[in-house]
Amino acid sequence: MQAVKRILVVIDPTQNEQVALKRASLIAGFIESELHLLVCENRQDHTPLLQDLADQLKASGIACGFSQSWYSNLTDTISRAVVREGCGLVIKQHLPDSALRKALLTPDDWKLLRYCPAPVLMVKNSESWIKGSVLAAIDLGSHDDQHHVLHDTIVSHAADIAEMIDGDLHLISAHPAPMLSSADPTFQLRESIAASYLDASVEYTGKYAIDAQRLHIDEGPADTLIPFVANKIGASVTVIGTVGRKGIAGALIGNTAEVVLDQLNTDVLVLKPDDTLAHLEQLLEK
């Protein structure tokens, strides 16, 4: 988080309260980054609004620029602005789609999580983060290099936020139910599965001083367990990763980050592996 020098803030002119901008101001003040305000529209000129918001930010000591643009869709517009302005984080207010719309079309915010070449913070409300809890959600059962690096990034970002808001860092990982047919004996007994996940968590609990009360390892689907624990601890923000699944599998199943987005009452910071971000940026430059 500390390495982010410029943050893209999506401004929605239809909203009276710019909750994404409030959250961005908090983060920018802590990590001393610049903000770039973006309106994604080509029907009406919103320069007066952007100029007023930028002036307020500059008066409070936050460097800020702004622009208005529109390409083929919301995700493409935001992604192009990320590359053009050199932003390392996108902050956007999340307004959930209706169940019918989600059944018929992939929500715009899901597309943004999949294809944006930068981490995305989805803001749900304007409640203060200060002295709140931060929930880092990882899969301790994934041992490949890409997931390991992503897990390190998730917990590191969550720890940065916890320090920023003088809050508590929590760690969660959901594990599968026992499978008697599994070739690996570890996954045949509930106790051995839990023990293996607990062993894998030591790397993070030791480094970030996470005690037993702030470690949540339990059996069940991640998209059910994460919102349950986030609500239980009253989390202010949940940090989670996505591999950006594409195609039919992505349409039918969805990533955990997408599935929990509407279920969580917290803000949601979604991270992707560095090689995935680099690949998405390369696609935009073509």
Six token digits for residue 277: 């971000």
Q: pTM of the full predicted structure? A: 0.88
Short-list 260, 206, 262, 264, CA closest to 233: 264
Which class is domain 133-281?
alpha beta
**Which pLDDT value is given to residue 196?**
87
* Per-residue confidence (pLDDT) for residue 252, from 0 to 100: 36
**59 CB-near residues (< 8 Å, 6+ apart):** none
Question: What are the tens digits of pLDDT across the range 2-43?
Answer: 688 999 999 999 998 999 999 999 999 989 999 999 999 999
Query: Could you tell me the pLDDT band of residue 191, with boundaries at 50, 70 and 90?
Result: confident
C-alpha 84 chain-centroid distance: 21
Domain with CATH 3.40.50.620 in the chain: 6-93
* Cα–Cα nearest to 140, from 233, 241, 239, 217: 217
* Residue with the larger pLDDT of the pair 198 and 282: 198
Dist CA 79 CA 58 (whole Å): 25
Alpha-carbon dihedral sign for residues 250, 219, 224, 243: negative
Confidence of residue 258 (pLDDT cuts 50, 70, 90): confident
Of the candidates 284, 245, 286, the one whose C-alpha atom is nearest the C-alpha of residue 85 is 284
How far apart CA 110 and CA 181 sit, in angstroms, is 35
Question: Of the CATH numbers 3.50.50.60, 3.40.50.620, 3.30.420.40, 3.40.630.30, which one belongs to the domain with range 6-93?
Answer: 3.40.50.620
